[in-house]
Amino acid sequence: MTAKRSHKAAKPRPVIEARPFEWPDDGRINPDATALIVIDLQLAFLSPGGYLARKGYDPAPLRAILPTVNRVIAAARAAGCLIVHTRQGYRADLADMARLDRRTGPAVDAEDLGGLVRGSPDFEIVPEIEVRDTDIIIDKTANGAFTYTELEPVLRVQGITHLLLAGCTTDVCVHCTLREANDRRFQCLLIEDACASGDAYAHAAAVHMVTVEGGIFGAVAKADAVVTGLSRVRAKPHSA
């Protein structure tokens, strides 16, 4: 009589279900090489009197993603990923504000920018998002977080090769950062329900653009899939 072999259930691979391919495409999440970039969740963009609201956009869709972003942050922390927050803002004299931003219409002053001046209350990250001492904060003046900042050196020193992206706005600062990261050979995953725009059509288009040509800029996933994938890995937290 032949004894039956016992078969253990295969352990789920630590990858994230995404489109157009599972992420990362090398088949396994390495939290020591992965960072979550949380882009520009500042009062200036999310408050009723802030910059976006003054431009005529409803900040409600941006505020709606905060619980989802917090879930992703918690999962990334537990897995041992590096957490990076960005803030966009300018000097009080606007000397570092690009001419493109000032070329049309009347002269722009700090009051017109609705909090996009460093040191103003609305420049700060919304209180709903927990920022810890071990997190990295990158301040920027351009839409892309790599332009004229220390973001790339920080990521290289920390050994980061893979990026999860969340925040606002999907079509501008998030997308610019993703494209800059892709050109620098970081592997990128856009978390589509952890980012938002004041323009729903622009958000949908920006998400779609990531997936064209088989994922030319990376992959796209839902927050639930990211949390599930990260729950299967554990690593020591990064030190700032």
Please give the domain boundaries of the chain with CATH numbers for all domains. Answer: 31-230 (3.40.50.850)
Average pLDDT over residues 113-137: 90
Average pLDDT over residues 88-114: 68
Helices and strands in the chain, H and E counts: 9, 6
Q: What does pLDDT average to over the chain?
A: 89
Average pLDDT over residues 151-179: 98
Instruction: Give the strand pairing for 187-196 and 82-88.
Output: unpaired
| Residues 6 or more apart whose Cβ sits within 8 Å of residue 217 | 178, 179, 182, 188, 190, 209, 210
Percent of the chain with pLDDT over 70: 85
Per residue in 68-85, pLDDT (tens digit) is 999 999 999 999 999 999
Average pLDDT over residues 81-99: 89
Catalytic residue among 40, 122, 135, 171: 40
Catalytic residue among 173, 176, 188, 195: 173
What pLDDT sits at residue 2? 46
Per residue in 171-184, pLDDT (tens digit) is 999 999 999 999 99
What pLDDT sits at residue 110? 53
- Give Cα separations from 104 to 28, 56, 101, 109, 171 (angstroms): 48, 17, 8, 13, 22
Percent of the chain with pLDDT over 90: 72
| Residues 6 or more apart whose Cβ sits within 8 Å of residue 194 | 65, 68, 69, 72, 166, 167, 223, 226
Distance CA 218, CA 180 (A): 12
Q: Is 140 labeled as catalytic in the residue annotation?
A: yes
Catalytic residue among 32, 122, 135, 140: 140
Which of the residue ranges 46-50, 165-169, 204-208 would you say has the lowest mean pLDDT? 46-50
Query: Per this entry, what is the length of the chain?
Result: 240
Which of the four pLDDT bands, split at 50, 70 and 90, describes residue 9?
A: low
- pTM for this predicted structure: 0.89
What pLDDT sits at residue 146? 98
- pLDDT greater than 50 at residue 1: no
Q: Is 173 labeled as catalytic in the residue annotation?
A: yes
Average pLDDT over residues 54-73: 94
Structure tokens belonging to residue 196 = 């938002």
Distance CA 204, CA 211 (A): 12
Average pLDDT over residues 114-140: 92
- pLDDT greater than 60 at residue 86: yes
Q: Is 112 labeled as catalytic in the residue annotation?
A: no
Distance CA 231, CA 222 (A): 14
What pLDDT sits at residue 126? 97
The number of beta carbons lying within 10 Å of the beta carbon of residue 197 is 24
